[in-house]
Structure formats: structure tokens, C-alpha cells
Amino acid sequence: MTEIEIIEDATDDEIAVWLCGRIEAALSRSPEPVAITVPGGSTPFPILSALASTSLDWRRMTVWPGDDRLVPEDHPASNTGKIRRLLEPVGAEVVTLTTMEEVPHFALAWLGMGGDGHIASLFPNTDPRADDPQRVRRLTPDPLPPEAPFDRITLTIPALLDSEELLFVIRGTEKRSVFETAARGEHDLPVTRLLREARQKVTCFT
């Protein structure tokens, strides 16, 4: 397990500035387009909105949702639709996840985490594995979250680990406790399985 840097009490704007710096560094290392993956849910979008207002060369950016609900992109529960409406106007390419997609190496994989330790849509009942031969899976959380009772499509642990660095944004004391326990390897939740195999830099904003 790699060392994890925890940065406490960061504002959305501060996280956006950090992200901007990391992405600019990735863009400067190569003339090729840069791919990142970002989470859905309520926490990321104020940060993404602040990031969208920066001077990043979005035309060289490919943005992958880490997961999505299997609903049309104009549905309120669609992560992809929200990301597309926010980042396509500034020039980014936003990918629609399908099981046929060829997943790239990510400059940065940004993840959230649920109180049950799930990451992307890798819930405990789905038994996500670091040696999963697939990079994208369709699956059904059990129990289905009442606020989003839909089947999912998600990047797998190997796809998320195929990245230069990992970022978490964890809000709330309960989730932070789950994350810190995972970082110590004290349970076998999906987030623990990911961190156990991580060899790249991991940063967690709280």
C-alpha cells in the first residue's frame, strides 16, 4: 500500500486549484491528449464547476465518468449528462461509459467514497477484485441506494489503478473514519481493496 496524503478542511475552490495544477503538469509532459476520470454524486460538481472556469486547455482533455447510472443522459440521475453539460462547452471530450470502451491510462483518477466503502459503483456486494479481467462492468448494487435505484456501469479496480495518481474527496466524519480504516487495511471493503494495491501517489481532501 502506498503512502496517503490527507489534506484537511479544503474548500471546493482549493481542490479545484490543486486539480488544475496536476492537470497542467500532465498536459505539459506530453503533446498527446490527457485522460482523467471523475466521480458523480453531489460533492464533485461544485469543484468541477470551479475547475471549468480555469484556463486549462480543455481541448486536449478526455473526461471519463468513473461510473454512471443506467439512465438516459438527460435524466437527472445521469452523471455523464451533468459532466457533459459542464465540460463540453469549455472544449473537453466527455466519454459515455460502455462495456466496449477501450479504457486509457489516466493522468488522474478522482474518486468519491460511500459510507459503505464503495468506490465508483463498486459496492461491497459486487465483490470487486484487483485482478478483474474487465475494465468496465455493468452491475446491480444490493441494496439499491434509495436516492438512485438504478443498475450501474462502472470502471473496475484495475482501470482505476491504471493512473498516475489517485484523488479522493471525502466529506463528513463518518466517511473519513471509513477511509482512514481502509488506509490502515483494517477491513475488506472496496476502497480497502483499491488502496491495498495502489502504488501511485494518493491524495485525500477532507
- Side-by-side strand order, sheet with 136-139: 67-69, 152-155, 136-139
Mean pLDDT of 80-95: 97
Of the chain, the percentage scoring pLDDT greater than 90 comes to: 88
Query: 85 pLDDT exceeds 80?
Result: yes
Q: Tell me, what amino acid is at 88? A: E
Mean pLDDT of 99-114: 94
Burial class (CB in 10 A: 0-12, 13-18, 19+), 27: middle
What does pLDDT average to over the chain? 94
Q: In the prediction, which pLDDT does 14 show? A: 96
Query: 196 pLDDT exceeds 90?
Result: yes
Mean pLDDT of 160-188: 94
Q: In the prediction, which pLDDT does 99 show? A: 86
Q: The domain that contains 157 carries what CATH number?
A: 3.40.50.1360
Q: In the prediction, which pLDDT does 146 show? A: 85
Contact 107, 35 (CB under 8 A): yes
To the question of pTM greater than 0.85 for the whole model, the response is yes
Query: 41 pLDDT exceeds 90?
Result: no
**Grid cell for residue 158:** 484495475
Query: 63 pLDDT exceeds 80?
Result: yes
| Total domains present in the chain | 1
CA distances from 123 to 35, 59, 192 (A): 24, 33, 12
pLDDT in tens, 8-17: 999 999 999 9
The confidence band for 3, taking pLDDT boundaries of 50, 70 and 90, is: confident
Q: Is 5 helix (H, G, I), strand (E, B) or coil?
A: strand
35's enclosing H/E stretch is: strand 34-38
Structural domain boundaries, residue 108: 4-205
Q: What is the dihedral of CA 142, 147, 153, 155, to 10 degrees?
A: -90
**Grid cell for residue 92:** 473537453
Phi–psi pair at 201, nearest 5 degrees? -65, 135
Query: 158 pLDDT exceeds 70?
Result: yes
Query: 1 pLDDT exceeds 70?
Result: no
